[in-house]
Every structure is written in C-alpha cells, then in structure tokens.
Chains A and B, each alone.
Chain A
Amino acid sequence: MSSLWNTVFYEPIYNILIFIINNITFGDVGFAIILVTVIVKLALSPLTKKSIKSQILMKRMEPEIKQIKKDFPNKEEQAKKTFELYKKYGTNPFSGCLVVILQLPVIFALYYVFYKGLSIDGSLIYSFIQTPTSLHTNFLGLIEMSSKSIFLGIFAGVTQFIQGYLSTPVKTNKLEIVKNTEEPKTFQEQLSDSMQMNVRYILPIFIAFIAWKISAAVALYWIVSNIFTIAQEWYIRRQFENNSI
C-alpha cells in the first residue's frame, strides 16, 4: 500500500521538484518549493472550485436555511425545502465528499516531499531527470530552507488564520443532533465544547508551531498553499459576482 502510494503520488511530485530545481530555478530550493506547490494546487483546482462556489452560495442562503429550520421541524421536509433552495440558487453545486477524499493522497504526498527534507535521494530520481549538482537552500539569501524559521512559521499561522476567516463555516446541518439529546453537560463536555469553538483560533497557532518546528521548507509550503487558496477564493468570488448580478 505504501509503495503504491510512493510510486503513484510521492515520486512524481519529488521528481517535479528536482526537475524544477535543475531547469527553472537553477538550484534554488525555495523558489522550487513555491513553484511545485502552485503547480499541484493548480492541477487540483478544478476539483476545489466547486467547493468554493458552494461555500459562497451557502453563505448567501444562510438566512433562508435558518428560516426553513424554524418553519419545518420535520427533518425530511427540512431537507426537501433546502434542496429547493439549492435549485433556486444554482442546481447541484456540490461535488461530493468522495472527490475531496480522493485528493488527500496528493496533498499528503506534496506535504511529505517537503517534510522529508531537501536531501537528494538518487534512487528516487527518474532516469531521464538529472541529479542536481548544486543546491541553494538559502531562500532569498535570507532564510535557510533546511533549518527552522520562526518567521516563516508565524507567517504560515497568519495566512492560515486569514484563509479560515474568509471561509467562515456555515452553522447549519451540524450540531443538530447534539441539541436534540439535551442533557445537563458535564464540566468536561463544556470544556471540549469551548475548545471546539476556538478551533479557528487554535488551529493557526498550532500550524505556526508545527511549521516552525518541522522546517522552513514545510512552513514555506504552508504559506504558498494558503495564499493560493485565498487567491482562488477571491478569483471565484469575483467571477461569481460578475456573472450573477
């Protein structure tokens, strides 16, 4: 299973990185990380596009969905009315959870390429790709990619926060069951509830910490990936507004 994952996902991305280091950035690892991340994200973007579209739609529908929840206590009727609403706003904007899950191995492989460090492993490089002779791991002449960088770590956290802030989750469908089985909550349950409420704030701090502790390469990957998502969302939102209004 893991060797299949290596062959199908990890090695191709690793070789793209090496190819870019050889031919495009002339040994510069930092710029190569940025390019590889953008290429993989671009390749996946047709799949994420739909999710972003429905995210925008869901935000617009939110007040109406709340009203439906109030007017129709029956779950099945609630669902029926909600789907009618989806139709009104654009038919079936959803891509499905399977599509999301199928992207995960690619995302993990991309992350793992940077996680494993920047040493050259000749056995992984395809025969038609040269083994790089010189590597510049000093990004912009300022940040050493193979060491830890607290600056890039914090920046990763900040971009994560902005990205999360822009995609405020809609509080529908979820938590309904928890509310139905109302029992007095124990202290522990209350604590875990408040912890979950703060995920939005805790997550960026967590990511900043991890990005700092692992390596500057992983932090840079995170930053580029977050900025890409923010830009993608901005672009789709603009496209949307031009078309529908």
Chain B
Amino acid sequence: MDKILIKIINTYQKIPLKSHFSCVFIPTCSEYTKEAIMKYGTLGGLGRGLIRICRCHPWQKNRFDPVK
C-alpha cells in the first residue's frame, strides 16, 4: 500500500500542473507526505500529509518544515 501511494505521488509530481507552483513550504506538501508515509506508514503518513496541506495557505510564511 505504501509503495503504491508513493508511486502515485511520484507520478503526480511528474505531471505538468500549475499546482506544483503553489506550495509555500520546503519540502513541498507532496514531498512531505511521501516522507511521512515512509516514516509513519499509510495512515500516519496520509494523516500528517493532510494536516500539512491544511497549513499550506496564503497566510502561511515560507518556511522549512520537514517531517518530524
């Protein structure tokens, strides 16, 4: 399951989309979710990714925010 999800994220990152230029963080939300899935498994990773996306809004300052 983890492997499939990571593959989906990898493919998403390859598709030319405007959304790739929206993220205010480093690493980007998709990258963050990928790392989180590797570290915390499917549910833990997806949950952390979702919370990260909710924090990624126009009033958020650019910052370095790695998976902890």
Which of B16, B31, B61 is the one whose CB lies under 8 Å from A168? B16
List residues of A (13-54) whose CB comes within 8 Å of B's CBs. Answer: 48, 50-52, 54
Known contacts A167-B16, A167-B18, A169-B16: A96-B24 contact under CB 8 Å: yes
Q: Closest residue of chain A to B61, judged by CB?
A: A92
* Cβ of B26 under 8 Å from chain A: yes
* Cβ of A199 under 8 Å from chain B: yes
**Complex-state Cα separation, A15 to B13, whole angstroms:** 35
On chain A, the residues within 8 Å of B19 by CB distance are: 51, 97, 100
On chain A, the residues within 8 Å of B29 by CB distance are: 97
Per the CB 8 Å criterion, the residue count for chain B at the interface is 36
Q: Helix, strand, loop or mixed for chain A's interface?
A: helix
On chain B, the residues within 8 Å of A80 by CB distance are: 64
- Nearest-Cβ distance from residue B4 to partner chain A, whole angstroms: 11
- Nearest-Cβ distance from residue B46 to partner chain A, whole angstroms: 14
Interchain CB contact under 8 A, B31 and A96: no
Interchain CB contact under 8 A, B18 and A173: no
* Cβ of A210 under 8 Å from chain B: no
On chain B, the residues within 8 Å of A173 by CB distance are: 26-28, 31
* Cβ of A151 under 8 Å from chain B: no
**Complex-state Cα separation, A177 to B39, whole angstroms:** 12
Which of B10, B17, B24, B54 is the one whose CB lies under 8 Å from A92? B24
* Cβ of A136 under 8 Å from chain B: no
On chain A, the residues within 8 Å of B17 by CB distance are: 167
On chain B, the residues within 8 Å of A176 by CB distance are: 27, 31
Interchain CB contact under 8 A, A169 and B18: no
* Cβ of A148 under 8 Å from chain B: no
Interchain CB contact under 8 A, A96 and B64: no
* Cβ of A55 under 8 Å from chain B: yes
Sampled A-B contacts (8; CB under 8 Å): A48-B18, A51-B19, A75-B66, A94-B21, A95-B22, A95-B24, A170-B21, A192-B10
Residues of B within 8 A of A (CB): 7, 10-11, 13-24, 26-31, 34-35, 38, 53-58, 60-64, 66
Given contacts A54-B21, A174-B31, 7 further A-B contacts (CB under 8 A): A94-B23, A100-B22, A174-B30, A176-B27, A197-B14, A199-B11, A199-B15
